[in-house]
């Protein structure tokens, strides 16, 4: 993969990511249980076009990953419960994913595809019976596609802990697939 990809890490870190690195696509772990966890545990299930059952299935994600050799994995640390609830953190992450995916695409990596964290923050509510109002920005989260974020993070040297209360800070991860 092109050494210039490191420039995307620098850009990500200069625009809000606490950590960013280029990873091998084979480090990304996809499991069926992740999507089931979305279905039975997340209030956004079925309410957003970027969430299950509308997002790519784990099987589709596995097939798609075989078409990529690398990814830009970004980690955003110290996100508070308030930032999570009002979607400001998710909006920041997804706007950066959008900007970087577009830049990477325009730099000649035509298959660039980004994934955010959590439900889409661009609309207050999503009318799943109509086309998306923000198709250029809206992307599924890693977990909505069946990616085991914890194992993927671990494979790439990032440490993630389980958040046990609303008072604890958390981390978001985002990914842009590159070929």
Helix count (H) and strand count (E) of the chain?
6, 4
Domain boundaries, the chain: 3-178
Does 1 score more than 80 pLDDT? no
The token duo for 127 is: 């009318």
Does 3 score more than 80 pLDDT? no
The larger pLDDT score, comparing residue 116 to residue 85, is at: 116
122-143: average pLDDT: 94
User: pLDDT-derived band of residue 175, with 50, 70 and 90 as boundaries?
Assistant: very high
Q: Which helix (H) or strand (E) holds 174?
A: strand 170-178
100-113: average pLDDT: 97
Q: Give whole-number Cα distances, 77 to 3, 104, 161, in Å.
A: 26, 24, 11
Measure the CA–CA gap between 117 and 90, rounded to whole angstroms.
Answer: 7
Cβ contact 50:144 at 8 Å? yes
32-60: average pLDDT: 94
Does 92 score more than 90 pLDDT? yes
Per-residue model confidence (pLDDT) at position 2: 63
pTM: 0.94
* High-pLDDT (> 70) share of the chain, %: 99
106-113: average pLDDT: 97
Average pLDDT, the chain: 94
| Cβ neighbour number for residue 63 with a 10 Å cutoff | 12
Nearest CA to 140 out of 34, 9, 41, 68 is that of 34
């Amino acid at each position: 993969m092109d050494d210039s990809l490191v420039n995307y890490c620098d850009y990500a870190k200069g625009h809000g990511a606490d950590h960013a690195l280029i990873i091998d696509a084979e480090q990304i772990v996809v499991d069926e249980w992740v999507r089931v966890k979305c279905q039975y545990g997340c209030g956004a299930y079925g309410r957003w076009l970027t969430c299950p059952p509308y997002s790519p299935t784990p099987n589709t994600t596995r097939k798609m990953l075989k078409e990529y050799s690398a990814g830009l994995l970004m980690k955003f640390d110290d996100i508070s419960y308030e930032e999570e609830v009002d979607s400001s953190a998710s909006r920041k992450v997804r706007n950066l994913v959008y900007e970087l995916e577009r830049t990477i695409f325009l730099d000649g990596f035509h298959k660039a595809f980004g994934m955010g964290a959590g439900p889409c923050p661009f609309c207050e509510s999503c009318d799943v019976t109509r086309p998306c109002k923000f198709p250029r920005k809206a992307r599924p989260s890693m977990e909505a596609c069946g990616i085991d974020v914890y194992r993927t993070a671990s494979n790439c040297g990032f440490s993630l802990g389980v958040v046990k209360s609303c008072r604890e800070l958390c981390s978001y991860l985002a990914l842009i697939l590159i070929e």
